[in-house]
Structure 1
C-alpha cells in the first residue's frame, strides 16, 4: 500500500503547488498586458493628430463610424473563440492533446468557411448596400470613398476572424505573456507603417488599408510560429475534426455568440447614435476622447482575461477560496487601473487635447468624466465575469446585457438630442448600473454555488472529476 500513500502525497503536493503556479502565471499575464496596452495606447496618441488633419473631419469621422460598425460585428466568430478557451483550459490541465486538437480543428474549420462565405457575399452585394445612408455621409466625402472604406475595413476584419483564434489558444495554454507581446507588436507595426504612408504623402485610402491589414498579418505569423514551435500535437488538421467534439464546442459557443452580439451592439453603438442624432461633424468631438479612454478599457480586459483559464483550472479543482481571493484582488487592481489615469485625463484632458490636436474638438470635462465612470464600472465587474465565463455561466450576463441594450440605445439617442454628446456616456453608465451590475453579482454567486460540491470533495481528500 506504500505506493498508494506515495501517490496520494504526490497529488497533495501538486494540488498545493497549483495555486502558486496559477498565481504566478496570472501576475505574468498582468505585467505583459500592461506592456501590450502601453503599445496600444501610444498608437492612437501618435496617429490621431497625424491622421485627423490628413483626412479632414468628415473623412476621419466616416473612418471611425465604419470602425464602430466593424466593432459591432465582433460576434462574427459565433462565440467560438470564447467557447474554445473555456473548453481548452481543462484539456491543457489534464494533458488531453487529442481532445484539444479536435476542439481547435473544429473552430478553425468553422470560422475559415464562415469568413470565406461572408467575404464573398460582401463583395457580391456591396453595390446594393446604401453605404452613404448607413453612415449619414454628407459634405466632401463621396459615395465611392464610403463604399471603399467600408469594404476594406470589413474584409480585413473577416479575414482576421479565424486568424484571431490564436490568441484564445495561447491564453488557454497559459501563454498569456507571449500573446500580449504579439499584440503589442501588432500595434507598433501598424503605427510605423501608417506613419510611413502618411509621410510619403500617399492616399488616405492607402492609410486605412495599411492600418486594417496589419492585425491579420501579425496573427497569421503568430499562428504559424505557435503551432510549429512546440505545439505540433494540437495543430489544427482536417482529419482531427470530430462531430461530437464539434457539437460540444458549438453548444457552449452558441451562448457566448448571443452574448457577444448583444455586448457588441450595446458598447459600439455610440458613434452611430451620435452620427444620426447630431451628424458626422459631431462624431470627431466624441470619438477622439472616447478612443483615448477606451485604451483604459482595453487594459482592463487584457489584465482580466488571464483570469478566464486560471479560474477554469481553479474551479475544476474545487479551489473556491483561490477564486474568491483572486477576484477581490483583481477587482481592486482593475478599478485602480481605470480610475487613476481617468482622474488625470478628466483633470487635464482639455489642456491635453488643445496641445495635442491641430484641430479643435473642444474640451468638455463632463464628457471625459462620463467616459471615465463608464470604464470604471466595467472594470469593477470584469473579474466576476471572468469567473462566470470560466464555468460557462452565460445566461445571467445575457439577461443583463439585453436589458442594457434596450435601455441605453433609446436613452443615448434622446440624451444626445436634448443635451448633446456629453450625455451619451452618462446615460450608458446609468443604464449599466441598473442592468448589468445586478446580473453580474447574481451570476458570480450562482457560479460559486455550483462548485461547492467539488470544493467539499477536495477538503475530504476525495478525487475530483475533471
Structure 2
C-alpha cells in the first residue's frame, strides 16, 4: 500500500500512563518537566510491579531444583542459556520498532506507527510459524547429548524434550512480545510491566500443580515457560482491541517504505543483539564443556539469584529509552544530559544497596529450602556477580540514549571485542580458578572493551552538531518537526 498522505493524517494524543504523554507538535518547549515526571513515575510504579517478577524465579529455585535434581536442573539452565543466545530471533525488530514508535508517539503519527507495527508482526509471525513447523520433526536429528554434554541422571531424551519445550515457548513468544515494545514506546511502562509480572506469577501455580501431581520433569519445565506466553496473548488482545485499536496490526497496513525504514534500523540492532546474547549467555555452555553439568548448577543458582540485580537495572533504565526518543525529537539535549547523570547515580546506588543484601544473604538464600541437592554458595562468586551488575547499572543510562538515537556501531564494536576476549579468557580461567573467576573476568574485559565504546557512543548521540536523531520516520505533517536521518 502507499504511504498515507500528509493531509489525511490526524494528529491526536494517545492514552498512556500520563494524560500528557504525547502532546501535539509545537509544544516541545514545556515538555521537559512532564517528561521527567513520567519517567520518575514509571520507575517508581514499575519497581513495585516488578517485585513479583523478582520473587517468582527465587521461589521456584528450591522447588524445581529439589524436584529435578542437580543434573536435570543444570541441563535446564543450559537450555535456558541457549534460548537467551537466540534472543536475536526477532531480527532486531523489537528494538527498532520501539525506537521508531517513540518518534511517532512524540509527533502524533498513528498511521505511520500502524505501518511499522503491521510490518513487524507479519514478518515475525510468519517466521515463528515456520520455525515451529520445522523444530519438532528435525529435533530427532540433533545430537543433544553432545550439544549439552549430558551426564549423570540426565538422559538424551530429557535433553531433547526440555529443549523442544523451551524453544517452542520462546519462538511463540517472539511475535507476541512485540506488544511490550509498543507499550514502552507509548510510555505505558507501568501497565506493560504489570502484564509481565502477571506472566511470571502464573508460572508459580503451574509449577506447583505439576510437582504436586508428580508429573514428569518436562511438565515442570513447561510450567515455568508457559506463563509469559499466555499473558502476552491476553495483553495483545487488550491493547489492540480495547486500549489502542488505532494501532492494531493488519496485513493491509504492510507498506514497503515503512518496512525498509524499520528493517534498516532493525538490522543494526539485530547484529548488536546477536553479539550481546552470545556474550552474556555463553557462561553456562563454557562451564558445561570446561567442567560438567553439576558445576553449571553451582554457577547457575547464584547467577539466577543475582539476576534480581539485572531486573533492577532494567526497570530503572529502560523507561529512559522512549523518554530519550521524545527528547531527541524535540531537541532537548540538556534534559538528556541532566537526566542521564541523575539516572546513573540512582541506578548505580540502587544496585549497590541491593548487592550488599545479596552478598550478605545470598549464600544463605541458596542453601535454604533445597534438600537433597548439594549446591555451592561461594560468597566471592556473589561478590563477582554483584560487581558485574554494578558496572552495567552505571553505564545503562547511556546505552538507553544511544538506542533511542540509533547509535549502534560503537556498541557493536565494543561487544564484539568483549565476546571474543571473554570466551577465551573465561575458558582458561575455569580450568585454573573454577567458576568463581567467571564474573571477575567478565568485569575486567567489559571495562576494557564495552565501557569505552559506550562513552564514545553517548557523546556522539548528544553532540550539539550531531545529525543523528530518533525520528527517522518521515514527518507525516507539513508542520516542521525536528528530525534527522540515519547517517
Contact 2:92 2:273 in 1 (8 A): yes
Task: Tell me, yes or no, if structure 1 residue 318 matches structure 2 residue 337.
Answer: no
- Indicate the residue corresponding to 1:397 in structure 2: 411
Partner of 1:134: 147
Structure 2 CA distance, aligned partners of 1:87 and 1:203? 44
| CA deviation map 1:279-319 (0-9, x unaligned) | 00111111011011112112211221111110011011111
Partners of 1:246 and 1:464 lie apart in 2 by 22
The 1:48–1:11 alpha-carbon spacing in structure 2 relative to 1, beyond 3 Å, is closer
Taking a change above 3 Å as real, the CA distance of residues 64 and 240 of structure 1, as seen in their structure-2 partners, is same
Residues 454, 139 of structure 1: CA spacing in aligned structure 2 closer, same or farther, 3 A cutoff? closer
Partners of 1:145 and 1:371 lie apart in 2 by 30
Aligned match of 1:162 in 159, 164, 175?
A: 175
Instruction: Specify whether residues 95 and 209 from structure 1 end up closer, same or farther in structure 2 by C-alpha distance, changes over 3 A only.
Output: same
Alpha-carbon shift at residue 452 of structure 1 (Å): 5.6
Q: Which stretches of structure 1, 4 residues or longer, exceed 4 Å deviation after superposition?
A: 10-13, 450-455
CA offsets 1:394-434 (integer angstroms, 9 cap, x no match): 00000000000000011111111110000111111111111
Contact 1:43 1:187 in 2 (8 A): yes
Q: Which has the higher helix share?
A: 1
- Equivalent residue, structure 2, for 1:4: none
Give the number of aligned pairs.
Answer: 451
Q: Are 2:54 and 1:54 aligned? A: no
Instruction: Tell me which moved more, 235-244 or 210-219.
Output: 210-219
Question: Which residue number corresponds to residue 258 of structure 2?
Answer: 245
Bigger mean CA offset, 117-126 vs 254-263 = 117-126
2:193 corresponds in structure 1 to: 180
Instruction: Report the more deviating stretch, 235-244 or 110-119.
Output: 110-119
Q: Report the CA distance shift for 1:96/1:132 in structure 2 as closer, same or farther (over 3 A).
A: same
Query: What is the match of residue 458 of structure 2?
Result: 444
Q: Distance in 1 between matches of 2:98 and 2:364?
A: 43
Q: Give distance in 2, aligned partners of 1:337 and 1:82.
A: 26
Work out the CA distance in 2 between the residues paired with 1:361 and 1:236: 47
Q: Are 1:309 and 2:322 matched, yes or no?
A: yes
Whole-angstrom distance in 2 between the partners of 1:236 and 1:410: 44
| Cα distance, 1:354 vs structure 2 | 3.0
Corresponding position of 1:262: 275
SS of the residue corresponding to residue 139 of structure 2 reads helix
- Tell me what 1:431 maps to: 445
CA distance in 1, matches of 2:311, 2:425: 25
Q: Deviation digits for residues 227-276 of structure 1, max 9, x if unmatched?
A: 11131111100000000100100000000000000000000111111010
TM-score (norm 1): 0.93
| Structure 1 residue corresponding to 2:391, chosen from 349, 354, 377 | 377
Residue 124 of structure 1 corresponds to which residue in structure 2?
137
1:79-121 Cα deviation digits (max 9, x unpaired): 0000000000111112211100100000000100111122222
Instruction: Map 1:37-76 onto structure 2 (within 5 A).
Output: 37-76=50-89
- Do residues 279 (structure 1) and 326 (structure 2) align? no
Aligned equivalent of 1:386: 400
**2:28 aligned with 1:25, yes or no?**
no
- Which stretch of the first structure deviates more once superposed, 346-355 or 179-188? 346-355
The aligned counterpart of 2:376 is 362
Q: 1:168 to 1:386 in 2, by over 3 A?
A: same
Say if 1:33 and 1:299, in contact at 8 Å, map to a contact too: no
Q: CA-atom RMSD, angstroms?
A: 1.8
Shift, 1:450, TM fit: 5.7
Q: Tell me, yes or no, if structure 1 residue 465 matches structure 2 residue 482.
A: yes
- What does residue 421 of structure 1 align with? 435
What is the alpha-carbon distance in structure 2 between the residues aligned to residue 367 and residue 316 of structure 1?
Answer: 43
Q: Distance in 2 between matches of 1:452 and 1:139?
A: 57
Q: In the TM superposition, what whole-angstrom CA distance separates every residue of 1:140-165 from its partner, at most 9, and x where no partner exists?
A: 21111110110110011000000000
Q: TM-score, normalised by structure 2?
A: 0.90
CA distance in 2, matches of 1:113, 1:463: 37
| Structure 1 residue 216, shift from structure 2 partner | 1.1
Other structure's SS at 2:150 match: coil
Alpha carbons of structure 1 residues 12 and 49: separation in structure 2 relative to 1, 3 Å: closer
In the other structure, the counterpart of 1:412 is 426
1:77 maps to 90
5+ unaligned residues in a row in structure 2: which ranges? 1-22, 470-478
